[in-house]
Amino acid sequence: MSPAPGMGHPGRDEGCLMSRYNSKETEAKWQAIWDQRGSFIATEDPGRPKYYVLEMFPYPSGRLHVGHARNYAIGDMVARYKRARGFNVLHPMGWDAFGLPAENAAIANKVHPADWTYQNIATMRDQLKTLGLAYDWTREIATCAPEYYRHEQKIFLDFLKAGLAYRKESWVNWDPVENTVLANEQVIDGRGWRSGAPVEKRKLNQWVLKITHYADELLDALTKLDRWPDKVRTMQEKWIGKSSGLRFTFDLMDDADKIEVFTTRPDTLFGASFVAVSPNHPLAARLAAGNPDLTAFISECNSIGTSEAAIETAEKLGFDTGLKAIHPFDETRTLPVYVANFVLMEYGTGAIFGCPAHDQRDLDFANKYRLPVLPVVVPEGTDPASFKVGTEAYTGPGVLRNSGFLDGLDVESAKREAIGRIEATGKGEGTTIYRLRDWGVSRQRYWGCPIPVIHCDACGIVPVPEQDLPVELPTDVSFDQPGNPLDHHPTWKHVACPTCSGEARRETDTFDTFFESSWYFARFCSPHETTTAFDRSAADYWLPVDQYIGGVEHAVLHLLYSRFFTRALKDCGYLSVAEPFEGLMTQGMVTHATYKDAQGQWLYPEEVEQRDGVPVRIDGGEPVEIGRLEKMSKSKKNVVGLEHIIDTYGADTMRLLLLSDSPPERDLEWTESGIDGAWRYVARVWRLITEPAVELAPAGSPQPAEISDKGQAARRIVHKTIDGFGDDVEKFRFNKAVARVRELTNALAELDGKGAGEGWVLREGYETLVKLIGPMMPHLGEELWQGLGHAELLTESPWPEADPALVVDESVVVAVQVNGKLRAQLPLPRDAAKEIAEEAALNDANVQRAMEGKPVRKLIYVPNRIVNVVI
């Protein structure tokens, strides 16, 4: 964007008019004043109601972009508004500073992850400060600092003691060329992103947290989170995935092994036509030992990687093991046993029976391998003989057929009956399972919090003694060889066993970075406490977070882990609350088109321009491929920086733009059209208030006895705006709040101030306007507040109160419909009686024309809204 030059433009200062609003100077001035006065430093005060507002802290990826700014503009609006309403507000900011990008940068640019991270933090902190956000910067934390993660290590040891952490074999993506574990993101079409080698799955012994211990609690408590969006609660509910069903074992023909399966559809057991086990099932491993074809099949399945999305979208493949499972209700029936790539070892028992007629996945599989499809549930009233299942499974309700003793039952009764019969045979039982799995927290990476345990050949796993915490990351590491630098560090991992003093090794895995973000909100209550993770009284005062704000993309993982952590911390005696976030607002993502050059490399938007309608590189003119709209992220380079917007227009203008137009929960496609409009509004408010048409009444003067009709009308608008604005902010409808304030501005601009008392009305209106825009444009607000003759800061002034008498209109416009079509609009007194409204409606000429002389069949009157004449 290149701003057009001109006198009214913020980028240019002709220096000739006092009406110029200089955003740069003004914003710096007020930021310094707030800072100097410590305006936003929070202290516990039991005498005042507290309000804890938190935006999800950022990963320090390098530069702040518009997506970050949207998040913080929303949070600051809430924080400043609540503050003006008299709350003792805690509004902190910090850095989610461990993570993979720092290591990628280390490998690509030979920078140490710590240097890279701290430099990014410094840059982003500076950028953040230019936004003028009401943060208590004294509480800033960075999760990569030992002062932070030492407490995390202690928390882990307490979880270990409480039985909430244990070791478990789990699968990872293995790059056989780089000898490195790959993140799912680093696996592209089954190959390592750098080496291009086909990925393998490997089993590693890893640390796991027992989130499933809280599965029921996490599920049940969702209903109480009434200030959370329904969609997030639904997503978590589905993620936990509580389902009841039947677990039972199949006996095999000519084989001593048994296969235990879980099903949510025991009613369809008579429709079973195969049994399938996961490629990682012990039985598959046993059979593969003597079978090179099966071994090859299993390794092919494993080349898909560990990502569930990849596994589920892959073509469904099976390998017939030749084994036959015996049907539990009919010993004469046998079912072929397959190894199938769509059966997940992590869910249920890692084995299923397939009923193709009533499960789409089973049907696809059966059609591919020519297995029988036998419908056993038939919709009520359908002839069972003619009911066929083709390419679409029938999953609806119905009556059982072809099912022996279940025939004639409905689905639910048949489930109960089938479970009862299996239980009677002793082959299995009705049970409840969860989709939720325990949380694997081990990562084979350097830039994370070291897991504080020691492996001793003699004593086994020994926790690091508390007095030896923190286990600090060594700084002298090399990324020249593949794998985890901690693992090949010459000395770091070699320690004496705390128990037997013999030679032992440190755990070289580090924690998943979701570990840090699962408790940071509580750390903000006492960020500098050295002896414990939380000062109990501070945590009791501030927690839970009253309003948490962040992207929807965190709807499940981060938010569920935090809920689990808070419960676990409570059980370990750290905290008093179980739920971390009382209110949640999930903002939509800021999206932008992505660009790729001919080599398939991502390009930044500023590297691309349109020439003759064709996108090309600015520097070489080579063609550029425009990709789809995606969430702004540094990895795809579709980020838009803030600097030049703030430089040209100021932070307030950008904040206004980010809050106008799009409602916060919706995705926002970033375009710079609109920034000029936002600036025009800033300049307009500035002119309106600094150059009033008439002299304003002095600050604090009493309401005059006489006020003109126009003045009274303006006052109604002022008070209606106060009322509606507050309501909008409470409900996160910032776009509407902005629209209201613009309407107020339009109304005040139209009042010439010459009528009786209008100088007083204008002062009331201007002061209200300034107070309302304060939470979104705080610098402009302070400057105008001062200009209106106030000595105290706007930031320290109370919110305006609406006069209830001025909020309701005396007359309303009621619409009149004839057979549902609008025919007239009638001004009527508020709450007019039914008879009056109906008479007025029927007397209207246009209504009579539409009625064509026909008699009224029915009259519907909704007071203050509508009359519908049905003829």
Nearest approach, Cβ of 717 to RNA (angstroms)?
Answer: 12
Minimum CB distance to RNA smaller for 5 or for 163: 5
Binding positions for RNA, 51-110, rule CB under 7 A: 58-59, 96, 98-101
| Contact residue for RNA among 462, 557, 616, 693 (CB under 7 A) | 557
Contact 276, 368 (CB under 8 A): no
- Of 793, 646, 774, nearest in space to 36 by CA: 793
Minimum gap (Å) between residue 13 Cβ and RNA: 13
The pair of structure tokens assigned to 684 is 């307009």
**What DSSP state is assigned to residue 764?**
H
Q: Which stretch binds RNA (CB under 7 A): 113-121, 467-475, 644-652, 812-820?
A: 812-820
What is the pairing mode between strands 442-443 and 439-440? Answer: unpaired
Q: Binding to RNA (CB under 7 A): which residues in 340-359?
A: 346-347
Q: 132 φ, ψ to 5°?
A: 70, 40
Write the DSSP symbol of residue 532: S
β-strands 866-870, 858-862 pairing = antiparallel
Q: What Cα–Cα distance (Å) separates residue 160 from each residue in 326, 424, 452?
A: 43, 40, 11
Q: Helix, strand or coil for residue 217?
A: helix
Tokens of 613: 């309608």
Q: How far is the CB of 417 from RNA (least distance, A)?
A: 26
Q: Can the peptide bond before residue 544 be classed as cis, meaning omega within 30 degrees of 0?
A: yes
Nearest CB to RNA, comparing residues 333 and 435: 435
Site for RNA contains 851 (CB under 7 A)? no
Q: Which residues contact 230 (CB under 8 A, 6 or more apart)?
A: none
Query: Which residue lies nearer to RNA by CB, 333 or 684?
Result: 684
Parallel, antiparallel, or unpaired for β 460-463 and 608-611? unpaired
The residue among 396 and 573 lying less far from RNA, judged by its C-beta, is: 396
Q: How far is the CB of 595 from RNA (least distance, A)?
A: 14
CB of 743 to RNA, least distance (A): 5
- Distance of CA 693 to CAs 687, 690, 748, 757, 758, Å? 10, 10, 11, 14, 11
Q: Note whether 683 binds RNA by CB under 7 A.
A: yes
In the list 442, 484, 526, 648, the residue contacting RNA (rule: CB under 7 A) is: 442
Beta bridge partners of 272: none
Residue 505 binds RNA, judged by CB under 7 A:
no
Could you tell me the smallest distance in angstroms from the CB atom of residue 818 to RNA?
9
Q: Between residue 313 and residue 342, which ones bind RNA under the rule CB under 7 A?
A: 313
To the nearest whole angstrom, how small is the minimum distance from the Cβ of residue 263 to RNA? 16
Show contacts with RNA in window 817-836 (CB under 7 A): 817, 819-823, 825
Compare residues 437 and 505 and give the one whose CB is closer to RNA: 437
If the CB atoms of residues 4 and 705 are measured against RNA, the closer one turns out to be 4
Q: Which residue in the set 175, 507, 512, 767 belongs to the binding site for RNA (CB under 7 A)? A: 512
Between CA 440 and CA 461 the distance in angstroms is 17
* Among 110, 370, 388, 628, interactor with RNA by CB under 7 A: 628
736 contributes a contact to RNA by CB under 7 A = yes
Q: Which is nearer to RNA, 497 or 590 (CB)?
A: 590
Query: What is the C-alpha to C-alpha distance for residues 551 and 585, in angstroms, rounded to an integer?
Result: 8
Stretch that binds RNA, among 149-157, 402-410, 704-712, 727-735 (CB under 7 A): 727-735
* Residue 18 contacts RNA per CB under 7 A: no
Which residues are paired to 274 by β-bridges? Answer: 354
DSSP assignment letter at 115: H
Residues 643-682 touching RNA, rule: CB under 7 A, are: 660-663, 666-669, 671, 673-674, 676-677, 680-681
CB closer to RNA out of 360 and 478: 360
Distance between CA atoms of residues 839 and 55, nearest Å: 55
Helices (H) and strands (E) counted in the chain, each on its own, are: 25, 35
Distance CA 270, CA 50 (A): 61
Least gap, CB of 705 to RNA (angstroms):
31
Q: According to the binding rule CB under 7 A, does residue 432 interact with RNA?
A: no
239 vs 387, which CB is nearer to RNA? 239
Residue 20 makes contact with RNA by CB under 7 A = no
Question: Rounded to whole angstroms, how far apart are CA atoms 576 and 755?
Answer: 60
Other beta carbons less than 10 A from residue 413's beta carbon: 13
Smallest distance, RNA to C-beta of residue 360, A:
6
DSSP 466-515: GGG---PPPS----SSSS-TTTT-SSTTEEE-TTT-SEEEE---EE-TTT
User: In the bound complex, what is the minimum distance in angstroms from residue 422's beta carbon to RNA?
Assistant: 26
CA angle 283, 284, 287 (to 5 degrees): 85
Residues 6+ apart with CB under 8 A from 840: 826, 828
Ramachandran assignment for 178, one of left (phi > 0), alpha (psi -120 to 50 degrees), beta (any other): alpha
Q: How far from the centroid of its chain's Cα atoms is residue 536's Cα?
A: 28
Query: Judged by CB, which is closer to RNA: 388, or 628?
Result: 628
Identify which range of 86-94, 245-253, 325-333, 625-633 contacts RNA by CB under 7 A.
Answer: 625-633
Taking the complex as a whole, how short is the minimal distance between the CB of residue 115 and RNA, in angstroms?
Answer: 18
Give the contact letters, 180-219, x = binds to RNA (CB under 7 A), - = no: -xxxxxx-----------------x-x-------------
Q: Which is nearer to RNA, 307 or 786 (CB)?
A: 307
Asked if 657 contacts 675 with a C-beta cutoff of 8 angstroms, the reply is: yes
From the list 527, 724, 757, 759, which residue makes contact with RNA (rule: CB under 7 A)? 724
- Chain positions 239 to 278 lying near RNA, rule: CB under 7 A, are 239, 241
Does 13 bind RNA (CB under 7 A)? Our answer is no
Amino acid 388 reads K
Q: Which range, of 157-165, 485-493, 546-554, 768-776, touches RNA by CB under 7 A? A: 546-554
Point out which span in 71-79, 151-159, 277-285, 731-739 binds RNA (CB under 7 A). 731-739
Whole-number Å distance between alpha carbons of 688 and 680: 12
Q: What residues between 154 and 183 interact with RNA by CB under 7 A?
A: 172-173, 181-183
135 vs 439 by CB, closer to RNA? 439
Strands 590-596 and 668-669: parallel
CB of 235 to RNA, least distance (A): 5
Q: If binding means CB under 7 A, how many residues of this protein chain bind RNA?
A: 118
Q: With contact defined as beta carbons under 8 Å apart, do 63 and 127 qualify?
A: yes
Figure out which of the listed residues 25, 115, 217, 312 binds RNA, where binding follows CB under 7 A. Answer: 312
Radius of gyration of the chain (CA): 34
Asked if 231 interacts with RNA (CB under 7 A), we say: yes
Binding of RNA at residue 638 (CB under 7 A)?
no
Q: Would you count residue 865 as binding RNA (CB under 7 A)?
A: yes
Tokens 């009786």 belong to residue:
756
Closer by beta carbon to RNA, 24 or else 435: 435
3-state secondary structure of 742: helix
Contact set for RNA, span 563-622 (CB under 7 A):
589, 591
Q: Where are the beta strands (DSSP E) in 241-372?
A: 243-252, 255-263, 274-277, 318-327, 330-340, 351-354
Kindly write out the interface string for residues 132-151 of this chain, putting x where it contacts RNA by CB under 7 A and - elsewhere.
--------------------
Residue 494 CB neighbour total at 10 angstroms = 11
CA–CA dist 223, 621 (Å, integer): 56
Least spacing, CB of residue 275 vs RNA, in Å: 20
Task: Pick the closer one to RNA by CB: 316 or 421.
Answer: 316
Nearer to RNA, 298 or 589 (CB): 589
Site for RNA, residues 761 to 800, rule: CB under 7 A: none
At 807, the amino acid letter reads V
